[in-house]
A = this chain, B = another copy of it.
Amino acid sequence: MEIPANEKAAILAQALPYIKRYAGKTIVVKYGGAAMVNEGLRAAVAEDLVLMAAVGIRAVLVHGGGPEIDSMLRRVGKEPVFVGGLRYTDEETMEIVQMVLAGKVNKDLVGLLGRAGGKALGLCGLDGGLLSAARMGKGGAAGGQQSDLGLVGDIRAVNADVLRRALDGGYVPVVATVAGGLDGDPNSYNVNADTAAASIAVALGAEKLVLLTDVPGILRDLGDSGTLIKEMPRSGIEALVREGILSKGMIPKVECCARAVDGGVGRAHIIDGRVPHALLVELFSDAGIGTMIS
């Protein structure tokens, strides 16, 4: 490394105010996209989370795993089916979803964090009743003629006790977004990972929700990264939607941020997971990165 040791030390010293600001605070990270697929980025995310834990941040990692699910479905001879952007989830699909998310993606991440020097705990929504969901309603939010999606669930209850205990013990909880049923319903449900992350952030009274995405943040003009909105109030979201500035993929993410802020989370961030160490850049520098909604 060509940067001399004392300059590095000066950089560490510059991080001090941020370290102090976030010590003891809870930060929920929704993990996905390129940062989850690219090996170098994966390693950097693991380092970032372990560093966050080391300086006293209570970090929670929430993940989905669409590509791995698709690939496993195909291995057992099922073609993935999507309806209005949501995965059609029959019982067989759900079995695969649970296995892949809770058994493969989740535990692989736990192992990765462990090798990076952290202590991680792999959970899904069934553990300690963390996430309970009901079948997503026909004629639900999107109104009109909604197709049946099978075992896709809406989160109805969060019991964060298991997360708090893990965080108290110095563990980084890694959460696969599979939820249990309500009141004795024995089904598992496939729940949206952004929404799960927002619900968990609210339940924990988190300081921040950070969504790692494959875009630089909210752009006024999708084609021009110079139009990044660095900061916006939660109250400005409706206008953005109305004005048609938000892309179709961005709308649910922004709505998650809104839900988190409405639930008492201090700040929600949409950041670019393709930037190495994007989490540390966001947390430990003046400039931050991506779009902050508060």
Contacts and interface: CB of A to CB of B under 8 A. Distances in A.
Given A9-B285, A16-B54, 6 more contacts: A10-B277, A12-B277, A15-B51, A99-B99, A103-B107, A121-B128
Interface in A250-281: 275-278, 280-281
Interface in A122-180: 122-124, 126-129, 161-162, 165-166, 169, 171, 178, 180
A86 interface: no
Interface stretch (A17-25, A205-213, A215-223, A231-239): A17-25
Contacts of A13: 44, 47-48, 51, 277, 280
Given A103-B102, A277-B6, A186 B111 contact: yes
Interface in A42-74: 44, 47-48, 50-51, 54-56, 72
A14 B116 CA distance: 11
A280 to B, nearest CB: 4
A276 B8 CA distance: 11
Contacts of A287: 5
Contact of A55 (B7, B54, B117, B180): B54
A101 interface: yes
Given A8-B285, A281-B6, A16 B117 contact: yes
B19 A55 contact: yes
A56 B20 CA distance: 11
Which 5 A-B pairs rank lowest in CB-CB distance, beginning with the nearest? Answer: A103-B103, A9-B277, A9-B280, A99-B103, A102-B103
A110 B126 CA distance: 7
A127 to B, nearest CB: 5
Given A162-B121, A285-B9, A184 B115 contact: yes
A191 interface: no
Contacts of A289: 5
Given A6-B277, A275-B6, A126 B114 contact: yes
A119 B126 contact: no
A75 interface: yes
Contacts of A180: 111, 114
B47 A16 contact: yes
Contacts of A54: 16, 19-20, 23, 55-56
Contacts of A285: 5, 8-9
A119 B110 contact: no
